[in-house]
């Protein structure tokens, strides 16, 4: 060591921002030259600046290392010298992106945070996949469900993807974590007596009974049903084209082309459904006129309501409220509206319809269909010849 004439924090020159002299005034310089701190700015996160620091001996080496680090930064490979823990990073992540989440999601994420355990105290940049998997086993051993573990996994995975994009971590450990797999629950097939009771109930009105019947006889998803237009139906050929869906987005309700499986599909429509749709279409026109709506129910909407004198398209959430309201009033067990899709598939298969055809009607592959409903074919053979005969 030797004396150093430079001052603490002196810079190399204005041409090399982020390089500062760092020789200790008490111990002096290293034998190979002065110590220089290289600082690279990486942006900010949660109002805190992100920086990468390195100490290099010798001014020329510092200048050369600065150029190397800038290249790494531009390639997204440079990590901030950030000692925050996994929990601290999770809080910063939720503060940054939680504004786009619904209230329930944010509440669940905060609950997931409490399950980090020892993982939460580890420096985020040093977390290893084996430590995450060990924590997952502890959660399961404590008697919590696989769904709870998968919820924690979702938070960690999203957090590290976000942190990696911002150069807070160099490697995303979650890419190498194997979460437990959730066993698929057997599909729930509602008894036909329940569906018959719902169809015979006059309280909800004709539109709701029409919705139920279209759902039962086409197997369409809730988002696909409320996106239907009259122009999608070919009543002469008894067909309907299902080619769009209503979804929830941060900006509100959106109608997008395509379905969950991708493209559109054409589904058979039973004669009784064609007749029911005809009755509802006529009544729908009369209702719109009688209500003196300032906006018509769209040129084509099949299912609609009105609010403050304006027509509004029905959403899956509105249909779900109506579904549970009717079943509660009739004293029927709580089931999800999606069971109507399961009912359609199981009834067709039990009636001996070609699985390839049923899969095409649902927008599935035949392999997925048989995997999901294999138990139905063997155990529910008494469902009847077809849906029409079962309900009419």
257-286: pLDDT as tens digits = 877 777 788 888 889 999 999 999 888 888
pLDDT at 378 over 70: no
Task: Please name the residue ranges forming H helices in the chain.
Answer: 59-74, 86-97, 103-113, 129-141, 146-165, 192-200, 206-218, 222-225, 271-290, 316-330, 339-350, 355-362, 366-379, 387-391
3-state secondary structure 214-279: HHHHHCCCHHHHCCCEHHHEECCCCEEEECEEEEEECCEEEEEECECCECCEEEECCHHHHHHHHH
pLDDT the model gives residue 9: 46
Note whether residue 18 is domain-resident: yes
Note whether residue 299 is domain-resident: yes
pLDDT at 125 over 70: yes
Give the global pTM. 0.57
pLDDT the model gives residue 2: 42
Mean pLDDT taken over the chain:
79
For residues 24 and 117, state if they share a domain: no
pLDDT at 111 over 80: yes
pLDDT the model gives residue 372: 80
CATH of the domain at 145: 1.10.150.130
CATH of the domain at 350: 1.10.443.10
For residues 66 and 98, state if they share a domain: no
pLDDT at 31 over 70: no
Note whether residue 182 is domain-resident: no
Mean pLDDT of 77-87: 71
pLDDT at 4 over 80: no
For residues 253 and 384, state if they share a domain: yes
The torsion angle over the Cα atoms of residues 76, 77, 81 and 82, rounded to 10 degrees, is 60
For residues 348 and 225, state if they share a domain: yes
Note whether residue 184 is domain-resident: no
Of 20-29, 231-240, 311-320, where does the model show the most confidence?
A: 231-240
For residues 272 and 353, state if they share a domain: yes
Where a domain ends, among 81, 111, 145?
A: 81
pLDDT at 74 over 60: yes
pLDDT at 166 over 80: no
pLDDT at 385 over 50: no
* CA 323 to the chain's CA centroid: 23
Place of tokens 């940054």: 96
Structure-token pair, residue 203:
């309280």
190-199, 301-310, 374-383: lowest mean pLDDT where? 374-383
pLDDT at 200 over 80: yes
Identify the residue with better confidence: 378 or 36: 36
Which pLDDT band holds residue 142 (cuts at 50, 70, 90)? very high
pLDDT at 359 over 90: no
Return the closest-CA partner of residue 236 out of 207, 281, 278, 264. 278
pLDDT at 327 over 90: yes
Domain containing residue 315: 192-391
pLDDT at 124 over 80: yes
61-70, 232-241, 250-259, 268-277: lowest mean pLDDT where? 250-259
105-119, 135-149, 248-262, 265-279: lowest mean pLDDT where? 248-262
Maximum separation of any 2 CA atoms in the chain, in Å: 100
84-93, 291-300, 325-334: lowest mean pLDDT where? 291-300
pLDDT the model gives residue 364: 79
Mean pLDDT of 77-104: 75
Which pLDDT band holds residue 27 (cuts at 50, 70, 90)? very low
pLDDT the model gives residue 8: 44
User: Per-residue b/e over 49-87, b at no fewer than 16 CB within 10 Å?
Assistant: ebebeeebeebeebbebbeebeeebeeeebbbebebbbb
For residues 57 and 105, state if they share a domain: no
Where a domain ends, among 151, 176, 201?
A: 176
For residues 212 and 352, state if they share a domain: yes
Return the closest-CA partner of residue 160 out of 128, 200, 114. 128
Instruction: Specify the number of domains making up the chain.
Output: 3
Mean pLDDT of 213-218: 92
Note whether residue 253 is domain-resident: yes
pLDDT the model gives residue 381: 39
* CA 60 to the chain's CA centroid: 51
pLDDT at 83 over 80: no
Note whether residue 245 is domain-resident: yes
For residues 110 and 255, state if they share a domain: no
For residues 245 and 345, state if they share a domain: yes
Mean pLDDT of 326-346: 92
For residues 58 and 95, state if they share a domain: no
Mean pLDDT of 44-60: 73
Where a domain ends, among 113, 143, 176?
A: 176
Rg from Cα positions in the chain? 31
């Amino acid at each position: 060591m030797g004396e150093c004439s430079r001052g603490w924090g002196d810079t190399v020159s204005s041409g090399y921002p982020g390089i500062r002299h760092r020789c200790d005034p008490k111990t002096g310089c290293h034998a190979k030259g002065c110590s220089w701190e290289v600082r690279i700015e990486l942006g900010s996160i949660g109002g805190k600046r992100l920086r990468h620091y390195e100490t290099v001996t010798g001014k020329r080496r510092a200048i050369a290392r600065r150029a190397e680090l800038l290249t790494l930064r531009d390639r997204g490979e440079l990590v901030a010298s950030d000692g925050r823990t996994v929990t601290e990073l999770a809080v910063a992540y939720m503060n940054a992106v939680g504004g786009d989440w619904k209230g329930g999601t944010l509440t669940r994420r905060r609950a997931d945070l409490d399950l980090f355990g020892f993982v939460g105290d580890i420096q985020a940049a040093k977390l290893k996949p084996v430590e995450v998997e060990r924590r997952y086993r502890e959660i399961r051993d404590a008697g919590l469900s696989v769904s709870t573990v998968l919820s924690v996994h979702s938070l960690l995975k999203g957090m590290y993807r976000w942190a990696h994009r911002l150069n807070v971590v160099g490697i995303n450990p979650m890419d190498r974590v194997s979460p437990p797999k959730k066993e698929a629950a057997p599909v729930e097939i509602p008894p036909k007596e329940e569906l018959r009771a719902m169809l015979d109930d006059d309280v909800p009105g004709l539109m709701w009974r029409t919705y139920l019947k279209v759902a039962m006889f086409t197997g369409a998803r809730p988002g696909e049903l409320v996106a239907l237009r009259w122009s999608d139906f070919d009543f002469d050929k008894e067909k309907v084209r299902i080619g769009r869906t209503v979804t929830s987005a941060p900006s509100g309700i959106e109608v997008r082309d395509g379905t969950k499986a991708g493209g559109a599909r054409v589904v058979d429509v039973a004669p009784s459904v064609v007749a029911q749709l005809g009755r509802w279409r006529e009544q729908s026109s009369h209702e719109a006129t009688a209500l003196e709506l300032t906006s018509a129910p769209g040129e084509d909407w099949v299912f609609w309501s009105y609010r403050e004198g304006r027509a509004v398209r029905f959403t899956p959430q509105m249909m779900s409220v109506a579904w549970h309201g009717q079943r509660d009033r009739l004293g029927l067990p709580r089931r999800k509206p999606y069971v109507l899709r399961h009912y359609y598939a199981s009834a067709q298969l039990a009636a001996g319809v070609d699985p390839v055809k049923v899969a095409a009607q649902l927008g599935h592959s035949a392999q997925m269909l048989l995997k999901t409903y294999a138990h139905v074919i063997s155990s529910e053979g008494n469902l009847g010849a077809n849906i029409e005969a079962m309900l009419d």
